Amino acid sequence: MNLTEGLLRVRYRDSWERPVPMVPGEVYAITIELFPIANLFCRDHRLRLDISSSNFPHFDVNPNSGEPEGAWQQPRIARNRVFVEAARPSHLLLPVIPRNGTNGMERERSSP
């Protein structure tokens, strides 16, 4: 079951106004913001993170060619890598709300 998604055309990793294509073989640090969700994970539940270069038809086709969006002629196969070594660590950052719900926002209950 998918809980949420995030989307980033990596050519826009530095700026939405000035896209910069990736150079094959280069390693890039990127941040993909996920859409907000709430879910209770019970003991023994597991997470899976999927990385893809396209999610059509949910999002626009990504031809991976660097051509202008909507005007591509020569789609390419992308090869994605997620590094997990000490020199190039990757991580998934998840907020955690304590089980008792104490986050400083509770209302005080008064007894009748």
Per residue in 88-101, pLDDT tens?
989 888 888 877 76
Are residues 79 and 10 in contact, defined by beta-carbon separation less than 8 angstroms? no
Q: What is the pTM of this model?
A: 0.71
Q: Which residue has the tokens 């913001």?
A: 33
Residue 110 confidence (pLDDT):
45
Are residues 52 and 63 in contact, defined by beta-carbon separation less than 8 angstroms? no
Are residues 62 and 87 in contact, defined by beta-carbon separation less than 8 angstroms? no
Residue 18 confidence (pLDDT):
92
Least confident of 46-50, 87-91, 103-107: 103-107
CB atoms closer than 10 angstroms to residue 59:
12
Q: How far apart are CA 62 and CA 98, in angstroms?
A: 39
